[in-house]
Amino acid sequence: MSYDIEKRDLMAIDDFQEDLPEIINWAINLKNDEDFSDSFKPLEGMTIGSIYEKPSTRTRVSFEVGVNKLGGQPLTLLANDIQLGKSESVSDTAAVLSRYLDGITYRCFKHSDAQLLASSATIPVINALSDMHHPCQAAADLMVITENKKDLNGHISWVGDGNNVLHDLLLAGVSLGHDVKYATPEGMEPNREVIGRAEKIAKQTGAEITATNDPVEAVSDAGVIYTDIFVSMGEEHIKDKFAAFDGFQVNEELVSNAKDNYLFMHCLPAHRGEEVTDAVIDSKNSIVFDQAENRMWAQMSLLTYMCNPIAWEAYRDLY
């Protein structure tokens, strides 16, 4: 398809800062209005390719099913089976795939590879997780938070690594006006440049960002407690990283500091017994499987916004 407007790439969730509330509302409407979403086919005739350099359950299945629901054809390309990274460069791969496909999702090790693929492709590119950002996760997470907003009477807290998931949660959270308090071990703080971007957004929306090394401080009176695995994919070689998280487990004692009706969130997969106990992840406060479901609805909204801006414009006033 050809674009009259500049093609839209999603590398980090603040790329769509201005339209994020609408993207999330659209996702909620798609989820709730079954009659409409069953007949809404903005990707008819389109093929969306998904490249995976790392394993995935949620991202892969939610993109494949979501593209199908929107009338498109998903094509999964596992890194071991294609030339990328072996005998072909990222930029040549991008140029070739742009001749066949209508959009690409890319899960990669190096964020700079996602940026290179996007700048070399003539079709929209979605970062489906890099070492720096996980924007699709943040879109789904803010969708769940928006759905539960009536019960959210405290800030969003994070306990764990200063990683890709925190980066986009922070950017998306403050974009929607939520205060965010994060606790990371010393030396595991989020990327400074990303914090700078989040602070700039927070200034516009009036949200507050607090950094600490103390998990109790972060979760005290929180409306949301979010954690993730301590050692991300591709970091397994970092010696002793796991040991730095002593005291960072989200367990019943830690969550007793939050609001009674706090929401427990985790992007999954969870390492039960490490960053979170069964008692917390299986509690009534846990919404981790809603997050997983919303990956699909949020990505369907993003795919429409990015791959068929004409349909997006035509339907945006529907709700």
Active site (catalytic) residues: 107, 134, 137, 228, 267, 295
- 229 touches, from ligand NVA, ligand CP, none (C-beta below 5 to 8 Å by class): ligand NVA
For residue 220, what are its two tokens? 């005290």
CA angle at residue 173 from 257 to 218, to 5 degrees? 25
Q: What distance in Å separates the CA atoms of residue 256 and residue 264, rounded to the nearest whole number?
A: 12
- Smaller CB distance to ligand CP: residue 216 or 268? 268
Q: What distance in Å separates the CA atoms of residue 108 and residue 53, rounded to the nearest whole number?
A: 5
Given candidates 105, 163, 175, 294, which one binds ligand NVA under the rule CB under 6 A? 163
Task: Establish if 104 lies at the interface with ligand CP (CB under 6 A).
Answer: no
Given candidates 211, 233, 244, 311, which one binds ligand NVA under the rule CB under 6 A? 233
Q: Which residue has the tokens 């093609």?
A: 7
- 127 touches, from ligand NVA, ligand CP, none (C-beta below 5 to 8 Å by class): none
Sign of the Cα pseudo-torsion (138, 142, 148, 154, in order): positive
- Per-residue binding letters, 118-157, with ligand NVA (x by CB under 6 A): -----------x----------------------------
Q: Which residue has the tokens 């980090």?
A: 12
The nearest distance, CB 284 to ligand CP, in angstroms, is 22
Closest CA to 132 of 271, 232, 270: 232
By beta carbon distance, the residue nearest ligand NVA is 232
Task: Establish if 164 lies at the interface with ligand NVA (CB under 6 A).
Answer: yes
- The count of residues interacting with ligand CP (CB under 6 A) is 9
Number of H helices, E strands in the chain: 13, 9
Q: What distance in Å separates the CA atoms of residue 301 and residue 182, rounded to the nearest whole number?
A: 28
Binding to ligand CP, residues 262-281 (CB under 6 A): 267-269
Cβ neighbourhood burial of 316 (10 Å; 0-12, 13-18, 19+): middle
Task: Establish if 227 lies at the interface with ligand NVA (CB under 6 A).
Answer: no
Q: Segment near ligand NVA (CB under 6 A), from 97-105, 145-153, 158-166, 272-280? A: 158-166
Q: Which residues are CB-contacts of 122 (< 8 A; sequence separation ≥ 6)?
A: 7, 95, 98
- 163 touches, from ligand CP, ligand NVA, none (C-beta below 5 to 8 Å by class): ligand NVA
Note the residues at the interface with ligand CP (CB under 6 A): 56-59, 129, 137, 267-269
Note the residues at the interface with ligand NVA (CB under 6 A): 129, 163-165, 228-229, 232-233, 267
